[in-house]
Amino acid sequence: MSKVAKDVDKLEPEEAAAELATLAAEIAAHDALYYQDDAPKVSDAEYDALRQRNLAIEDRFPDLVRPDSPSKSVGTAVQSKFEKIAHEVPMLSLDNAFDDSDVFDFVGRVKRFLKWPEDVPLLLTAEPKIDGLSLALRYEKGVLQSAATRGDGAVGENVTANACTISDIPQKLTGQDIPDVVEVRGEVFLGKKDFQALNQRMEDEGKPTYVNPRNTAAGSLRQLDANITASRPLRFFAYAWGAMSHMPLDSQFGMVELFQDWGFVINPLMGRFDQVDDLLAHYRKIEEQRASLDYDIDGVVYKVDDLKLQTRLGFVSRSPRWAIAHKFPAELATTILTDIEIQVGRTGALSPVARLEPVTVGGVVVSNATLHNEDYIAGIGSNGEPIREGRSLQIGDTVTIYRAGDVIPKVMDVDLSKRPSDSVPYVLPDICPACGSAAVREKNVKTGRLDSVRRCTGGLICPAQAVEGIKHFVSRNAFDIDGFGEKQAEAFYKWGLIANVADIFTLKERDSRSLTRLKNRDGFGDLSASNLFDAIDARRMIDFHRFIFALGIRHVGEGNAKLFARHYQNVEAFLTAVEEASGFEGAAWEDLVNIDGIGETAARALVQFFAEAHNRRVVDALLQAITVNPAEQTSSDSPVAGKTVVFTGSLERMTRDEAKAMAERMGAKVAGSVSGKTDLLVAGPGAGSKLKKASELGVETIDEDGWFELTGL
């Protein structure tokens, strides 16, 4: 839910009824995406939170439980493209436990229901919770008759033809004591390595890749064409049953072992325990092995082992009383750091990237994670303080990674007890891997500390920086050239067609004289080449702030680019001012660093960029081919239009940000400090050094009331 939810204990009945209606609709929509379309849009943790919220409200307001309550349903209705199969025994889902206390509570509830003596052990099984698609297989006289998905728990989809293509599913049972009617249930899944191979094949064929193994397995099993299913290496673990003409054994553990005798694959990590502490120890053991398993799991399932006790316990709502799923922490996973690779960015930064054994985190398969810089690898934070308790990262380490929302996955922790004996500390190279130039760490003049980032000194001779600069230049918030993306940037640089961004706008002319035309190169034809040239021509006129941002100057992002554009108004004034500020002194430099919101770091980076002759040559060539629109004039007839204004002291009728925005709307330039170029100082109570300097320089000074009187607001 988008807004912060009110505490359930504080809900009024009307609020509770309204929220239950909203939750029912929201959860039903997510169920359809998950079970029908195999394309969930929220993580398991977010989905579980919605269901927990619904149950909590229903517990407090039992009279408000809706007929369509999510607590009464499992999955969603089957799609019309499949035949329906009714489950003789409903396929229900499991309640969830999220921490150790939930597991103790579960066992406590079971014992209280059974009136089980506290000092008498109670056997429970524990097995990995496979992240796949539930499937029910019905056998008669040992021969497979049908295969059905969970569906809504009561009715599933007939996927028999597809199930027959899965090698782990026997079409005829073997072994002894096979009942006349057997319904074996389990999970269809796709191994991690098989998933990687499938995605690589899709990428090689120029097709979209898949998000995660679970969705891919589900989509593969639910194909109308069984040949497509057969082309996917799906697997199956058996772990439960439905309708049985008679029960051969009386325990959960024994029945699963019997499945193996009948020809099924069962999970080797299943165990049986009679103490909660032992259950939790097994949970942690499985969690530790999660990274090395070739299949995705998202928790551990606990079940009462005695089938007679299961019968006594029965079911409540949509789940059995005798089982619970202990979920792993959301958005966290443990895996192996297999390698560290260096990528060179457009500003020359050497960025280490962790290569990982693939693992699913928050519904997405993760095989890479950022390592930021060499300090981060060494266990040192940006403030110089230790992180991960100062523990360094080494290749071969077992690491915990996390992913919040859509951010890039990060390595959070390392388990030193699992570090390989032959592991050695990782040393970031001091030579750029792209061009062989020296890679150095600059010293921060203010703190005296070395910059945490190591940078290549090769500049424009470094191919990595050149290619990344071209990618940035054509990106969405810069020139946004349609059909010109990362692949085109890399290809054009490799082919020698574009060495710098100015070459983009001469590409069409040069191509017309070339013996090897673009339309004849791999990936292009007459239409695609023509469309690209048209897209380039369509960007020969660009807004001033987008032009500045597109240059890829270090420390000059979109925000700073807009501030520079607003202050200098046009590209001619901008270039003149930057050139005059080249000595980091004088009126032009003072004006530059005084732009409100611009610090000395960004100002120095701007001046240094244009001080490089090769950069200025590229910009001059670029300006020969394009037109840069002046910044928008917000107001030209106001009394402060074109003036440089500074605000200081406490403002009482408006906030400082409101005052700045107001001045800019009226065409004024807002500066952060007083200088010889300041036209007006607006001083509130408590004004100090700025007021004194304005007086020394003879700058006009007014108070807040005077500002409103001057501007007529």
Q: Output the six-digit token pair for 269.
A: 């990590």
Query: Are the C-beta atoms of residues 213 and 193 closer than 8 Å to each other?
Result: no
Q: In CATH terms, are 458-539 and 543-629 the same topology? A: yes
Inform me whether the pLDDT recorded for 460 exceeds 70: no
Rounded CA-CA distance 588/583 in Å is 10
Q: Which of 91, 76, 40, 361 is nearest to 219 (CA)?
A: 40
Rounded CA-CA distance 157/389 in Å is 52
Helix (H) or strand (E) holding 98, with range, is none
pLDDT category of residue 406 using cuts at 50, 70 and 90: very low
The more confident residue out of 367 and 210 is 367
In degrees, rounded to 5, the angle at the alpha carbon of residue 384 between the alpha carbons of residues 468 and 380 is 70
Q: Output the six-digit token pair for 559.
A: 């925000």
Q: What is the pLDDT of residue 320?
A: 92
Query: Are the C-beta atoms of residues 224 and 200 closer than 8 Å to each other?
Result: no
> 333-368: per-residue pLDDT in tens?
889 999 999 998 877 889 999 999 988 886 678 889
> Which CATH homologous superfamily contains domain 543-629?
5' to 3' exonuclease, C-terminal subdomain (1.10.150.20)
Q: What is the pLDDT of residue 1?
A: 45
The more confident residue out of 70 and 57 is 57
CATH class held by domain 332-440: mainly beta
Inform me whether the pLDDT recorded for 256 exceeds 60: yes
Pick the CATH number of 95-327 from 3.40.50.80, 3.40.640.10, 3.30.470.30, 3.40.50.920: 3.30.470.30
Q: What is the pLDDT of residue 459?
A: 66
Dihedral sign, CA of 259, 261, 265, 267? positive
Query: Are the C-beta atoms of residues 504 and 483 closer than 8 Å to each other?
Result: no
CATH class held by domain 458-539: mainly alpha
What rounded mean pLDDT belongs to the chain?
Answer: 86
Task: Cite the DSSP H helix spans in 92-225.
Answer: 100-114, 160-163, 192-204, 213-221
Query: Are the C-beta atoms of residues 74 and 34 closer than 8 Å to each other?
Result: no
How would you class 522 by CB atoms within 10 Å of its CB: exposed for 0-12, middle for 13-18, buried for 19 or more? exposed
> 674-713: per-residue pLDDT in tens?
888 889 999 888 888 888 888 888 989 998 888 888 887 6
SS (H, E, C) 195-228: HHHHHHHHHHCCCCCCCCHHHHHHHHHCCCCHHH
SS (H, E, C) 413-462: EEEHHHCCCCCCCCCCCCECCCCCCEEECCECCCCCCECCCCEECCHHHC
Please confirm, yes or no, whether 446 is among the known catalytic residues.
no
| Arithmetic mean of pLDDT, 193-208 | 81
Q: 């080494």: which residue's tokens?
A: 394
Inform me whether the pLDDT recorded for 2 exceeds 60: no
Rounded CA-CA distance 570/385 in Å is 44
Strand partners, 364: 361
Query: Are the C-beta atoms of residues 81 and 158 closer than 8 Å to each other?
Result: no
Pick the CATH number of 8-73 from 3.40.50.10540, 1.10.3720.10, 1.10.287.610, 1.10.357.10: 1.10.287.610
Query: Are the C-beta atoms of residues 517 and 511 closer than 8 Å to each other?
Result: yes
Strand partners, 127: 301
pLDDT > 90: percent of the chain: 39
Rounded CA-CA distance 491/498 in Å is 9
Query: Are the C-beta atoms of residues 370 and 354 closer than 8 Å to each other?
Result: yes
Read off φ and ψ for residue 241, nearest 5 degrees. -150, 165
Q: What is the pLDDT of residue 200?
A: 85
Report strand pairing: 350-361 vs 332-344: antiparallel
Q: Could you say which of 10, 129, 193, 487 is catalytic?
A: 129
> 35-54: per-residue pLDDT in tens?
565 566 676 667 777 888 88
pLDDT category of residue 80 using cuts at 50, 70 and 90: very low
Inform me whether the pLDDT recorded for 388 exceeds 70: yes
For residue 66, the number of C-alpha atoms closer than 13 Å in the C-beta half-sphere is 18
Would you tell me the crossing angle of helices 44-60 and 13-31 to the nearest 10 degrees? Answer: 150
- For 263, residues 6+ apart whose C-beta sits below 8 A from its C-beta are 170, 172, 173, 174, 175
- Which region holds residue 609: left if phi is over 0, alpha if psi is between -120 and 50, else beta? alpha
pLDDT category of residue 129 using cuts at 50, 70 and 90: very high
Q: According to the CATH classification, is domain 644-711 in 3.40.50.10190?
A: yes
Domain edges within the chain: 8-73, 95-327, 332-440, 458-539, 543-629, 644-711
| Arithmetic mean of pLDDT, 643-655 | 83
Q: What is the pLDDT of residue 407?
A: 57
